[in-house]
Amino acid sequence: MAESELTDAAALRRERDEVKAHSAVFKKELGLRDLVLTQVMYVVGTAWVGTAAKLGHQHIVFWLLAILLFYLPQGAVVVYLNRLMPLEGGIYQWAKMGFNNFAGFIVAWNLWVYGIVVMSAMGLVITAGLGYATGATWLASSKLVVSLVSTVMMAAMVLATIRGLSLGKWVHNAGGVMIMGAFALLIILPFWHVARGTLAEYHPFTVALPTFTLLNLNIFGKMAVGAFSGLEYAAIVAGECRDPARTISRSIWIATPITALMFILGTSAVLAFVRIEDINLISPIPQVLTVGFRSSAVAWIVAPAAILMIVGRVIANVSFSFTGNTRLPMVAGWDHLLPGWFTRLHRRYKTPVNSIIFVGVVTLMFALAGLIGVGEQEAFQLLDNAAGIFYGFAYLMLFAIPIFGLRAAGARVPLWLKVAAGAGFLTTLLYCTLSVFPIIDVTSWLSFSLKIITVIVAANLIGVAIYLTAERRRAKGTSTGASE
């Protein structure tokens, strides 16, 4: 091995040891059961079955393609990198040690901004769900109600996250149980209607040959990168897991088949009750449950209960997203890329209290700003598309690490993993390119696309500026120390 490679490897070992030393103070709260339920809760979003149903009976082919070209490659790459580097910060550490500090910071920046944007949309989702559960479907159209829900929810997230994962894991576990319960009702519903004679026939695995139009490819990208992403998120809190190299990997492979079946059968159930043109892209499951139980004697309790389970999952999802998002500024602070203020831990709970408060305030501001000047469905699509592209940028880096990076780590990546990572990279690139276009009718197609592009470019320029400022500050500190 060349002398430069030996030096790089030694530096990498020092960085790993520093991260492990920082992580030693955290309480190891998460075990295999917690991680499996959290993986299901976090990955299985309720909106994706509505998005996929826009494809009609072509959806099964596109789901299978999404699994083959994105979901399985993602799982393989995450398992490999997590076993190699089971460190607090997850993908931030992988990109930093796989490439360099800039790559680590930018991937974490895009992931952090993604978290801010997607959490800011949750007020819309929760309000729509509550509207279906209570029959007051006008709630989601009231910007005042959505604003109040967003504010209360974010205040609760801040307090719960300061308390730590000893509380948060039970919220996440409950969310996993609730989303599986809601999907079970959704999946059983058409079979129940066939048994009662209120639905003439139901064939959940009916397959139609796919047509590869731009719209269909746009939806496919959302089904792949949008619906199936999230397996790497648990690795952000690896320092708070018991035996992270083993438990995170096992949780991924246990959760994967459960997730795939929930999406495929859930989409078929949507198509059984709602016309394609009438699908509500924000809350398709509450919409189906409301329609499906309308003529039943137990409708007054079963449908609202199932919808409230979905709302509970959304709250758990926000809680987990919020937890991961507060760790990213903390680990960047460890590397002096952000002020040390972000690394300060609560004296009792050992959580990054300053980072938690900061992320809460920024998320709420973004949530309120996202409601200005657009309608309910358009607001959701705008936030969802922008968030997806930020996440997509992080995934481009994730898949690039085993293909081009890891030289300093001395890792010999197997060819099959590079091929899988290449498939994931190309699928993600397709998704990012097409996500600037809406899949619904909007006031102005051009305005919609320009808003997304402007947000993405501006956000990344801000990230680059923050990084360059931090590097100049670090260089100045180094030169000052040397002169002394």
- The length of the chain in residues reads 484
Q: What is the pLDDT of residues 268-316, one digit of tens each?
A: 999 999 998 888 877 788 888 888 887 776 666 777 888 788 888 889 9
Q: What is the pLDDT of residues 326-353, one digit of tens each?
A: 999 999 999 989 999 999 999 999 999 9
How confident is residue 374, by pLDDT bands cut at 50, 70 and 90?
Answer: very low
Write out the E strands in 90-218. none
Distance CA(455)–CA(326), nearest Å, equals: 21
Is the separation of the CB atoms in 154 and 359 below 8 Å?
no
Distance CA(206)–CA(215), nearest Å, equals: 21
Q: What is the pLDDT of residues 99-113, one digit of tens each?
A: 989 999 999 999 998
Burial category of 251 from C-beta neighbours within 10 Å (exposed 0-12, middle 13-18, buried 19 and up):
buried
Which DSSP symbol is given to 346?
P
Higher per-residue pLDDT: 454 or 82: 82
Q: Which two tokens stand for residue 74?
A: 């993602």
Distance CA(228)–CA(65), nearest Å, equals: 12
Distance CA(84)–CA(473), nearest Å, equals: 31
Distance CA(92)–CA(101), nearest Å, equals: 9
Q: Within 13 A of 411's CA, how many CA atoms are on the CB side?
A: 22
Residue 439: per-residue pLDDT? 57
In order of 19, 88, 94, 112, 115, the CA distances from 25 in angstroms are 11, 12, 21, 23, 25
Is the separation of the CB atoms in 409 and 98 below 8 Å?
yes
Distance CA(261)–CA(422), nearest Å, equals: 25
How confident is residue 483, by pLDDT bands cut at 50, 70 and 90?
Answer: very low
Residue with tokens 């930093």: 96
> Does the pLDDT of residue 81 top 80, yes or no?
yes
Q: What is the mean pLDDT of the chain?
A: 85
Is the separation of the CB atoms in 139 and 131 below 8 Å?
yes
Q: What is the pLDDT of residues 161-199, one digit of tens each?
A: 999 999 999 999 999 999 999 999 999 999 999 998 888
Q: Which CATH number describes the domain made up of 25-474?
A: 1.20.1740.10
Residue 142: per-residue pLDDT? 79
Write down the domain spans for the chain: 25-474
How confident is residue 22, by pLDDT bands cut at 50, 70 and 90?
Answer: confident
pTM reported for the whole predicted model:
0.85
Q: What is the pLDDT of residues 42-52, one digit of tens each?
A: 999 888 999 99
Is the separation of the CB atoms in 470 and 108 below 8 Å?
no
Closest alpha carbon to 282 in 49, 438, 443: 49
Residue 307: per-residue pLDDT? 79
Residue 384: per-residue pLDDT? 66
Q: In 3-state terms, what secondary structure has residue 18?
A: helix
Distance CA(74)–CA(71), nearest Å, equals: 5
> Does the pLDDT of residue 482 top 90, yes or no?
no
> Does the pLDDT of residue 213 top 80, yes or no?
yes
